């Protein structure tokens, strides 16, 4: 379904929404709609805007002067950047935007995945009273970029593994020979995500032990095959649900509090 302006939304004092294409289902719409009810937030509404081209963003903004902020999902996390006035440090470093703060004609881009992952990982490491000496990132996509940025902030050295390794990356066969050297392993790939719940990264799980921690950005199912294989060996595991909630709350904060951006385009 293509987006068409809805005049009924003009009466909403504060409008928020999600741009992407297609938009068959949305965690964000459900999350914010429930938040508005739960926290008695009035005069706000969250809508889906399935624009079939990022070139329609100016049209969307012109149609809704009451628009306060947007979430951005695939395929526009990179494509939206030329339309923005400025980027925050995380979005600039990651090269992807998933939150836009609208201030009239000024559009400011952020990456709340950075905050969501950093907050979630911090609590995971605190819970197990550890600061890993090295981390292994499975995957090289957009989510992996946010993870790399956070690990750099936390001064945790890391290596990246890919099924098709490029320069500076490791293949699974190579990494499996040294898997003991990576106490923190983070899956940023979609392997194990519903409906393909039986899949998982091709690791030498039999070499993992109590000194490891496994973090999976996948949150559906709540316990992935990757996590199951860790639990079977008594390894602490965590999924991406807390990260998801954390990035959503950060988006709300970005939209509703004054912000200072340090990186200009």
Domain 114-242 has CATH 3.40.50.720: yes
Residue 257 binned pLDDT confidence (cut-offs 50, 70, 90): confident
Structure tokens at 121: 């990982």
List the beta bridge partners of residue 263: 87
Q: Cis bond leading into 229, ω under 30°? A: no
Has residue 21 got a pLDDT over 70?
yes
Q: In this structure, which CATH number among 3.40.50.1360, 3.40.50.720, 3.30.470.20, 3.40.50.10860 belongs to the domain 7-110?
A: 3.40.50.10860
Give the whole-number percent of the chain exceeding pLDDT 90: 87
What CA dihedral angle connects 78, 145, 118 and 246, to 10 degrees? 30
Answer yes or no: are the C-beta atoms of 201 and 172 closer than 8 Å: yes
The answer to pTM > 0.85 is yes
Q: Could you state, in order of their start, the residue ranges of all structural domains in the chain?
A: 7-110, 114-242
Which residues participate in catalysis according to the annotation? 77
pLDDT digits (tens, 9 = 90+) for 47-92: 999 999 999 999 999 999 999 999 998 889 999 999 999 999 999 9
């Amino acid at each position: 379904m293509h987006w068409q302006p809805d005049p009924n939304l003009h009466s909403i004092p504060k409008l928020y929404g999600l741009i992407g294409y297609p938009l068959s289902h949305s965690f964000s719409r459900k999350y914010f709609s429930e938040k508005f009810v739960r926290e008695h937030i009035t005069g706000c509404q969250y809508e889906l805007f399935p624009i079939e081209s990022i070139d329609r963003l100016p049209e969307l903004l012109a149609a809704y002067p009451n628009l306060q902020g947007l979430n951005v999902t695939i395929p526009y996390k990179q494509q939206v950047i030329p339309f923005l006035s400025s980027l925050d440090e995380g979005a600039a470093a990651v090269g992807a935007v998933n939150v836009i703060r609208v201030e009239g004609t000024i559009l400011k881009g952020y990456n709340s995945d950075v905050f969501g992952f950093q907050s979630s990982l911090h609590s995971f490491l605190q819970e197990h009273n550890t600061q890993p000496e090295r981390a292994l990132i499975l995957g090289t996509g957009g989510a992996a970029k946010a993870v790399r940025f956070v690990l750099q902030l936390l001064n945790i050295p890391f290596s990246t593994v890919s099924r098709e390794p490029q320069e500076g990356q490791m293949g699974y066969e190579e990494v499996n020979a040294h898997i003991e050297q990576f106490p923190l392993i983070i899956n940023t790939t979609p392997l194990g995500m519903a409906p393909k719940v039986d899949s998982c990264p091709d690791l030498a799980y039999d070499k993992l032990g109590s000194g490891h921690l496994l973090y999976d950005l996948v949150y559906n199912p709540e316990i992935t095959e990757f996590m199951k294989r860790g639990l079977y060996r008594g390894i602490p595991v965590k999924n991406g649900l807390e990260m998801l909630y954390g990035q959503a709350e950060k988006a709300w904060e970005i939209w509703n509090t004054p912000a200072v951006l340090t990186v200009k385009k």
